[in-house]
Structure 1
C-alpha cells in the first residue's frame, strides 16, 4: 500500500475490500476520540484564549 492514486480511489478500494459495515463501525469508533479531544481542547485551550478577549478563539 503506497501513497499513489487519488484519495477517492483509495476510499473506493477500502470500501470494496472491507465493506460498508466495517466502514460504519470505524466511523462510530472514530467519533468517540474526537469528542474526547474536543472536550480537552475546550477545557484547556479556550480559557486562556478567552482571557485575551476573543470570544471563541476564531477572531
Structure 2
C-alpha cells in the first residue's frame, strides 16, 4: 500500500488515501472523506512505483 495526498476537486481540503500497488492500472470512484462528493481516481504503477495519479470531479 502507498499513501497518496491530494486536494479534493470539490472542497479543496487536503485528503489522503491508501493505494493498492498490486494492480498496475486502476480507475475507480471514491467519496471525499470531508465533503462526501464522489471523486474519479485514476492510478498507474510501474513495478510498484507510482507513475500517474489523477483525482477529478465526476461532474462535467
The normalised TM-score by structure 1 is 0.18
Q: Which structure: larger Rg?
A: 1
Higher helix share: 1
TM-score, with structure 2 as normaliser = 0.18
Q: Which structure carries more relative contact order (alpha carbon 8 Å, separation 6+)?
A: 2
- More strand, by proportion: 2
